[in-house]
Amino acid sequence: MEFTPTETLLPAGPSSAPTAMPSQGASSSSTSWWARLRASLTMLSPSAQAVLECDSIRIADAVAPRLNGDIDVAQWSASRVRTGIVVGSVQSGKTANMLAVAAHVLDRGVGVLVVLAGTRVALWLQTYERLLQQLDGSSTSNSWARNKERVLIPDPNDILGEEGRADPRRYLNSQLWDFKKAVIAKRPGIIVVFKDDSHLLELGRFLRSALAPGVLEERGAPLEVVVLDDEADDGSVLDSEQGDKQTPRIIRHIWSDPQTPDETWHPSLFATYVAYTATPQANFLQAQHNPLAPRDFRASLRVPADYGQLSPRTTSYNEPEGVRRYYTGGRVYYELLSTEPGSLIKGLPYPARLEGEEDGQYQTRFRAHQWAVLGESLRSYFVGGAIRLLLSGRSLMAAQRSGPLDAAALEALLPSPHCMLIHPSALKDLHFRMAEDVGRWCVSIPGQEDQVPTVLEAVGTVHLDPAGLSRRLSLEEDQWKLWHRQYIESTFAARLLPRGGYASLGKLAWSDIRAVLESEVFPGSRLRILNSDPRADDRPLFDRRPVVGSKSVFLPPPELFSIFIAGNVLSRGLTIEGLCTSLFLRSANEPAADTQMQMQRWFGYRGDYLPFCRLFAYQDQLDLFRAYHLNDEAQKGEILAEMDSGEASPQGPLILQGENFVATSKVDTRRVPLHPGPSPSVKLVELADTTLAQSNRDILSTFLDSHACDELEAEGTIRGLMSREPIDILEVATILEAFRYSKHRPAPDEDLYARWRSIQLAYGLASPVLKLPQPPYASSGVDPSGCPYSIAAYLRLWNALLQKRDVRGLYPTDRPRMSWHHINLADYQATRPTFYVGVRFGSEGLSLDPRLRQHGIRVMQRHMHPKRDFLLNTLWGTRGEGGNYYGDQLLDYHLHASTPVPRLHDGVRWRTRGHPGLLLFHLVREALGTPEALTVGLGIPHGGPDHVAALRGTKG
């Protein structure tokens, strides 16, 4: 398929128009901002450029809405502030989209563009230089030439030295007068600021002066301020209104006055804040009083892969140029190349303590296991590096020993970076201990690693020992040679992917690989520790180094073949070029998906060396990574469906977590499973409104009038009625949806009910699964397992998903570790549940309702909740203690005799997948003379869909 960035690539709808003609205040340059940026995107494939243009235009429509070329003020509330979010993937190109959106909004006449460029100085300067080169089309040496067309803050001269970077007043106030003139003249002002509270405070003061009422009135036209936050999950989240975090409030003062914080400080000033993040869980779940919470729009970016299309949007798009252009993310690691032979992931069994094992024995065995894991990952790294060098025909040692060279000569000499990442813990002390272990492994005889004295130098560094590595290679050569075979297998697997033209490794001789290991890789590799102090600038250096005093002569970059040991710094935008081998040993009592997703630095565009990528982690951690990936796909799928349909849940997209991990630790959440449980009971009863009470009783009467039922006897007692045949799952849902209550009429935007709309969008369901009574609304606050409408929605969803295969973020209740899209759908279709319908008799005599009395329905006694007069204390009765009666929840088993029978008292409560379900009516009253009310309990078989949602509230 040919991709061209034309209007035909855009989804239908009024917000999908191509880039609008510049309105007043647009750049006076003959070259538009977008044209200038697009000319710099030569590294992108045609399809990637088309997607970038399509998505950035759509986002720009939300950021800077236009009506007939002018600001569409109707799209702003009375506060004149809009907030939104753009969700990407880890190391997938979010900054490229951010710059594209910046180009489009500048072309539309946005007056002030503010880029919050990260919480580390290195990230700030990196984003600043990229904005200069790609968006502005200039550099630190010639940016002055464009000063007549825009004002850029900081000026390069103001931040070249450390003194200028540290003092925001210096780089801001030096351009105050020029900025004011630009605003009046309708020339854009661009500010790239370090996301530090002191810098942000000064920026707020600067803008309140530069955009004072007199300046705005002299401008004579509305002014838009657009704030693009490049790391919105780091410092921009506010959980509690009483919390002491100030950064979100300080960011708000970019457009508002401290005296009137909820609106812009002038009627002609309009502001839009856009959060860019790969981990939006906390952004969506945070308290709504956060001024940065995404309220007005949200978007999700796509990545290149082996499937998908531009419209309707999917989480990935088909990249015609093949696997070398694919994003190497969760789909590649945890799906495409996750099985042997050729798997990119190596699941490690955790050495659990054995029964009866003493402390000393366990510590010795655990330590031996640690050495084995470390050794296997290091052999993977070293052998992979040797093979890559052989294939490149270049010399690592020649590059490292080269003197100053011009750019072309140095580029012709340098091999591609080849790196390893070890993540042992969040604790910095353990980083140094791991570095010492790496050093000991390199010099030790196999099996005697703990006998090596310390190799950690006083300055906290460890040097790898080439001679020790050569000796180790000789002593365990067979284990090293296995990695040659491993890479042959993974190369073969990758060659099967579209355009996977990787060089065959079968003809490489092990003797040649060994020679390169000893002469190049061992002496040329280095070990570095990147500590997790947020103030540190200790980052990998992959760029060539200019020789002091020269602009055309360079030295090779320090990082060519490097092993990095790091911790929390991994979650702050760290990029490791050429990362092939990753060893992830971090553990947590309650893992947080957003934090651990950011630490997957092995993600990125790694197609050129994909066969050499390996991730080593304990199996339970790999299970977590897979779950994070599938939940992330589901969340993005919902946002993309919103973008196409124009419909969105007011509560935001559904955020998923798991039984053994939380979505985020930054805000308090509560766990809500999708399924209502194996035997949900509706304790809601209608007593106050006699009309509604009669309507509910008529549900049972109507069923009995149209379905054949018989008395069911068990243990010599008539227990009730039971239908002769089961009914369809959708008929059960319809029965449940017919109940009506005066104190339970939930609104569709309540979080427990809005999630069903999210699910419908995420999985592309044509019909709604949740069917609620019409308003007026009255919320009772019952749990989903006690709400007939929620239970019915679950049954409708179950039925719908039996027709859909590619469903992410869900798993069947009987196989919680298997994603729904991996199940044998035909097997689950064959066990699609049907339900027997029964009535449980009580000892309170025949019903007073004439229709029910005609069918011999006997009333049960149930007590009401002491504080809630519309709820029963309990519903289910006899639990089958003693004798052969199975219990009320299993009443139907006495009829259909399916085996095995669940045992309520042994903790086995779920019905086996394939068994019938049960819908059991209960006609209840509290005492003689009180009203009769109808309600139901259900027995649900295994095999339905499930997930765990994270909703705002208390953890649980």
DSSP conformational letter for 15: G
| pLDDT, tens digit (0-9, with 9 covering 90-100), for 851-874 | 999 999 999 999 999 989 999 999
Q: What is the pLDDT of residues 724-780, one digit of tens each?
A: 999 999 999 999 999 999 999 999 999 899 999 999 989 999 999 999 999 999 988
* pLDDT above 60 for 675: yes
Q: How many Å apart are CA 909 and CA 99, to the nearest integer?
A: 55
DSSP bridge partners of 616 = 346, 583
pLDDT for 538: 61
Q: From the centroid of its chain, how far is CA 710?
A: 52
Q: How many CB atoms lie within 10 A of CB 322?
A: 16
pLDDT at res. 457: 66
Q: State the angle between helix axes of 197-210 and 176-184 in degrees (0 to 180), rounded to the nearest 10.
A: 50
- d(C-alpha 861, C-alpha 171), whole Å: 78
Task: Using CA atoms of 392, 394, 399, 403 in order, give the dihedral in degrees to the nearest 10.
Answer: -130
Distance CA 179, CA 176 (A): 5
What is the chain's Cα-based Rg? 32
* Predicted pLDDT at 716: 87
- Count the neighbouring beta carbons within 10 Å of the beta carbon of residue 584: 24
In the chain, the N- to C-terminal Cα span, in Å, equals 49
Say which amino acid occupies 314.
Answer: T
Buried-exposed string 273-296: b where 16+ CB fall within 10 A, e elsewhere: bbbbbbbbbbbbbbbeebbbbbbb
Phi, psi of 824 (to 5 degrees): -80, 95
Q: Are 117 and 572 in contact (CB under 8 A)?
A: no
CA angle 676, 682, 685 (to 5 degrees): 155
Cβ within 8 Å of residue 625, ≥6 positions away:
330, 333, 334, 596, 600, 617
* Separation between Cα atoms, residue 347 and residue 345, nearest integer Å: 6
Residue 884 has pLDDT above 90, yes or no: no
Beta carbons of 732 and 835 less than 8 angstroms apart: yes
Predicted pLDDT of residue 460 = 61
**Segment 809-822 mean pLDDT:** 94
Q: What is the pLDDT of residues 605-643, one digit of tens each?
A: 999 999 999 999 999 999 999 999 999 999 999 999 999
Q: What is the pLDDT of residues 119-156, one digit of tens each?
A: 777 788 889 999 999 999 998 889 999 999 999 999 88
Residue 23 clears pLDDT 70, i.e. is over it? no
Describe the crossing of helices 729-737 and 788-801 by its angle, rounded to 10 degrees: 150
CA dist 493 to 342, 489, 490, Å?
6, 6, 5
Specify whether the CB–CB gap between 449 and 373 falls below 8 A.
Answer: no
Can you tell me the distance from the alpha carbon of 606 to that of 604, in angstroms, rounded to the nearest whole number?
A: 6
Q: What average pLDDT does range 378-394 have in this prediction?
A: 98
Q: Write down the residue that tokens 């086995």 correspond to.
A: 908
pTM: 0.91
Mean pLDDT along residues 375-382: 98
* Distance between CA atoms of residues 864 and 873, nearest Å: 5
Distance in angstroms (rounded) separating the CA atoms of residues 382 and 378: 6
C-alpha span between 235 and 244 (Å, rounded): 12
833-857: average pLDDT: 96
Which bin fits 766, alpha (ψ -120 to 50), beta or left (φ > 0)?
alpha
> Mean pLDDT in the chain?
90
Q: Tokens 């994909």 label which residue?
A: 610
* Residue 322 vs residue 425, higher pLDDT: 322
